[in-house]
Structure 1
């Protein structure tokens, strides 16, 4: 039979998932590198890449793969109320079952809100991107047209005919819309 002290279960405290000092990604327990300076300042790094860049005294705001760069360049949300909930609080709270349940529900809701806001932020950021890409593609075709495959004469004629047909269809649709709007105005005048 084993000793009673050895039979007891070892209870583990909740471990913090800290953020990397360099790239701001999560540092999970037993992963990455912890560097403690002589003045007892602790630096956590998620991988050797971050540690090496820190030792080379590189600025995280100048490296495109770090969160500091993304926030500084306006590619990620900086000011948002949903981000304040993720701040670390070192004040212990007495266990209360209802409080924990409410907190977990609130965490889910906050996560949904944050994801929705990030999607909206991304859509706004990418709004003019399609037009810019289109313009760049047009410019590329104009400047590098010698690289494009040659079109036969029949293909050119077909494309020109399709373009003319589309233009005629647009004009017809505009005329129909104008006629409809005039007819509606006439009806309104007749009712008065």
Structure 2
């Protein structure tokens, strides 16, 4: 069965199209296939291997920076989501001081909204 690779979530094409992976970077130019055969040269091979190691270091650093920039707002969103989850399921929280704090915060928010409306 034929499928569009950009619609299958596990493919590289999907990840790049969705902005989850780096799509444009100068380090990708080094991976391109060369169709011209090159005669073996020991010095050339040594410099090539050194360059490959250096390029992988650079790519790892850029990927980490890309990931950190992509996840920058995640903590705030997760904190809000966790607060909503606690408010919905406050009856499951065992500790009384936490319950009281959440309930007083809720009362303060309601009072603040009433003052704004008035």
TM normalised by structure 2 equals: 0.76
Report the CA distance shift for 1:142/1:149 in structure 2 as closer, same or farther (over 3 A).
closer
Shift of 1:150: 3.9
2:64 matched to 1:133? no
In structure 2, C-alpha distance between the alignment counterparts of 1:97 and 1:112, rounded to whole Å: 23
Structure 1 residue runs without a partner (length 5+) = 1-55, 161-192
Rounded Cα–Cα distance in structure 1 between residues aligned with 2:89 and 2:3: 39
Are residues 151 and 101 of structure 1, via their aligned partners in 2, closer, same or farther at CA, if it must alter by over 3 Å?
A: closer
Equivalent position to 1:149, from 93, 102, 108: 93
What is the 5 A alignment of 1:82-161? 82-146=27-91, 148-152=92-96, 156=97
d(CA) in 2 for partners of 1:120, 1:88: 27
Q: CA deviation at 1:151?
A: 3.1
Which residue pairs with 1:71 in the alignment? Answer: 16
Q: What is the Cα deviation at residue 143 of structure 1?
A: 2.5
Q: CA deviation at 1:144?
A: 2.9
Say which structure is richer in strand.
1
CA RMSD of aligned residues (A): 1.8
Alignment TM-score, normalising by the size of structure 1: 0.48
Q: By percentage of residues, which structure has more helix?
A: 2
Specify every segment of 5 or more residues in structure 2 that has no aligned partner in the other structure, as ranges: 102-118
